[in-house]
Amino acid sequence: MDAPYIPRQGSERDTLIAFLDYHRELLIDKASGLTDEQLHTAVTPSSLTLGGLINHMAVVEDSWFTDDFAGDSIPEPWASAPWDDDRDWELSTAPDVPTTELFQRYRDAIARSDAILASVDDLGSLSHKTHPDGDEWSIRWILIHLIEETARHCGHADFIRESIDGSVGDFRPQEG
């Protein structure tokens, strides 16, 4: 797969979005081409799986962009998930979700996030929801946080994937 293009002299907005897109695709690439059993294989002593990471990042995208920033209702399956009973619901239920549905959840969440990003001109635009201390998040902060979290989980995915089938490495960003 070709990596998303990351401009070397792009605007702040284009550069941030390109880095987020790169890490989104890298995580999907790390989890692709596996059987259902492999996708839900954990590396001891952790219970974290590639399927769990994909499901987790889908809810993270929807939480930050759809819910917190835009103030829209978070979609299913997140809206009716029993978060009070299982704080890690997206991780613990991932093995029960067909592989194609896990990837579709993530792709759909990315599409919703991208539509929200496309509607915002100013990276200083503030979130609809507030932090418990009453402060809002800028879309810039949310973008940087999503880059950081997605990249961190790509690192987890590296270790899990290597333990499953020996696959290592990642794609290099396209250069213009």
Number of structural domains the chain divides into:
1
Classify residue 136 by its DSSP letter.
E
How much is the pLDDT for 176? 52
How much is the pLDDT for 144? 97
How much is the pLDDT for 167? 87
How much is the pLDDT for 168? 82
Residue 51 inside a domain? The answer is yes
Residue 170 inside a domain? The answer is no
pLDDT by residue for the chain (176 residues), tens only, comes to 567 788 888 999 999 999 999 999 999 999 999 999 999 999 888 999 999 999 999 999 999 999 999 999 999 999 999 999 999 999 999 999 999 999 999 999 999 999 999 999 999 999 999 999 999 999 999 999 999 999 999 999 999 999 999 988 776 555 55
H-state helical runs in 32-174: 36-39, 50-61, 89-92, 99-118, 139-165
Distance CA 58, CA 61 (A): 5
The helix/strand/coil state of 130 is strand
Residue 117 inside a domain? The answer is yes
CATH code: domain of residue 16:
1.20.120.450
| Structural domain range at position 112 | 12-165
Residue 113 inside a domain? The answer is yes
Residue 3 inside a domain? The answer is no
Residue 171 inside a domain? The answer is no
Amino acid at 149: E
